[in-house]
Structure 1
């Protein structure tokens, strides 16, 4: 545990310049983008030049760019993401309202992807070059090629509209009805997770095949250990290193893919919040959503690094 604590401390220290770089990138992109908070604020009205100047001065839009960046970072450290120019509300309040749904969708999709990839990846490796392996490889290849939004539309057409098993859109809070929440989240979670599950299945299969060909597997099998014990206790654990690496990167895809999936299923999450802000020219909300998602991606990858050490004792020794 001491090795994990030391590695975690080093990574947290390194996260500081990384997060500052992310904030700087988002800040510069939003400042040089073709969006003007003043236009969004006075949308539908005919302000005087004095009103425009007063608004820009009150919101620091006339300050030099470095000063605006320092003030922006200082506001973030205090938990202030700015004010939405459309509804005059705190951006942080809007983000904290939308974030739980996006996290539910992301981690539900992540769980589905992990379970499917482990089950079918192990089956394909154990039955390699036989019928189950060939079927799983073909299906996983189709899954890799199929975009999530297309799968979402197919699910709505056949499982929601056609069969009537699930609602086509909307969201039910789990506190109000767990069954209703499960029905509204099932199709979005599967649409989000299936491409990731297909990729991970192929990687799990490859890693398992490499481990199954090693000498320790033949030795353990020859000593009389049941194949289930050898595969479950030794082979699978050693084969998880590469899939974990890819899983950390795929979390970013899940967070980004949630934007499209939430829009298709009319879920009031971070994706819908950002799409609305982009359409209405509300840069404070856009940068708040992007920074939140980027920080979440960095934190999840830090947790994946900790999982490396828990899965592989040799990495703990190296740490």
Structure 2
């Protein structure tokens, strides 16, 4: 099992390195002159020369890449061109919004999907089970930003239960901060919960025809115990796989949702950085978001070893 952990960790590091190379090449090499991209075609030659010197563009490409990687490993992400502040502090402030939002959306997704998926599988031949499947079709069809606007219209404008946008600082009022994340988290979670519900139902229906389920029923276990203690546990591998894939969609969705709800998170920051041509910030945030997705998939691979004991006995 230790060898499996080691191999997966090596794969994670190599994937992160490949992602960093790709991001660096796309943002620093392919545009031709990043300083010209940031300042625009009307920039003065002396201004361009000063920015190239500031960004180290006069140095060889390989040296610039190694310096960038070494700087990130030591916590030096550079200075933002638009904000003129260290990128590390800028990103850390925005992560305090995006990370709780993503965790809340994942929690809502898992609770809804597992509950509705098990219910739909247990009632697959009944009307209520079909109604759950109709709900999932509705959830998949509606874009998250449109659902967010509907939530604002109903719960913020008409009912006044939640704020329509903005985000108070955690240090001032943590309860109000969590309150402000409820609607955007629900908007993010709807599509993912609908997809995961269908996957959970399909995985459970396949497992419910296995011999061990009939044996458990023959021993006198109730249908609820068979579903939650035996069938669901054996259906978790495909469910966990989809959850790992969904995290990438959820991260991408934060860029839109944070703009809909005017949340000062990473999604809104990268949107503004692209608009202001701040390639220093764009580069760091893209690598961070890619790293989060790769890390989630690595954790899912590790989770397989605990979900299915048979995988621990196989050679890595």
Same-fold call, TM cutoff 0.5: yes
| Gaps in structure 2 of 5+ consecutive residues | none
Q: How many correspondences in the alignment?
A: 314
Aligned equivalents of 1:307 and 1:268: distance in 2?
32
- 1:99 Cα deviation after fit: 1.1
Aligned equivalents of 2:7 and 2:254: distance in 1?
31
Asked if structure 1 preserves the Cα contact closer than 8 Å seen for 2:80 and 2:87, the reply is yes
- 1:71 Cα deviation after fit: 2.4
Q: Does 1:59 align with 2:83?
A: no
In 2 relative to 1, CA 316–252 (structure 1 residues): closer, same or farther, beyond 3 Å?
A: same
State the partner residue of 1:201: 197
Asked if structure 2 preserves the Cα contact closer than 8 Å seen for 1:36 and 1:281, the reply is no
- 1:34 Cα deviation after fit: 8.1
Q: Does 1:213 align with 2:206?
A: no
In 2 relative to 1, CA 222–66 (structure 1 residues): closer, same or farther, beyond 3 Å?
A: same
State the partner residue of 1:177: 173
Moved more, 224-233 or 279-288: 224-233
Q: Does 1:81 align with 2:81?
A: no
When normalised by structure 1's length, the TM-score is: 0.92
Q: Does 1:20 align with 2:13?
A: no
- 1:128 Cα deviation after fit: 0.8
Q: Does 1:126 align with 2:117?
A: no
When normalised by structure 2's length, the TM-score is: 0.93
Within a 5 Å distance, the mapping from 1:1-319 to structure 2 comes to: 3=1, 5-31=2-28, 32-33=30-31, 36-37=34-35, 40=38, 49-318=45-314
Asked if structure 1 preserves the Cα contact closer than 8 Å seen for 2:27 and 2:34, the reply is no
Following superposition, which runs of at least 4 residues in structure 1 exceed 6 angstroms of deviation? none
Asked if structure 2 preserves the Cα contact closer than 8 Å seen for 1:140 and 1:201, the reply is yes
- 1:142 Cα deviation after fit: 1.2
In 2 relative to 1, CA 39–299 (structure 1 residues): closer, same or farther, beyond 3 Å?
A: closer
Moved more, 14-23 or 25-34: 25-34
Aligned equivalents of 1:222 and 1:176: distance in 2?
57
| Gaps in structure 1 of 5+ consecutive residues | none
Aligned equivalents of 1:145 and 1:278: distance in 2?
29
Asked if structure 2 preserves the Cα contact closer than 8 Å seen for 1:263 and 1:271, the reply is yes
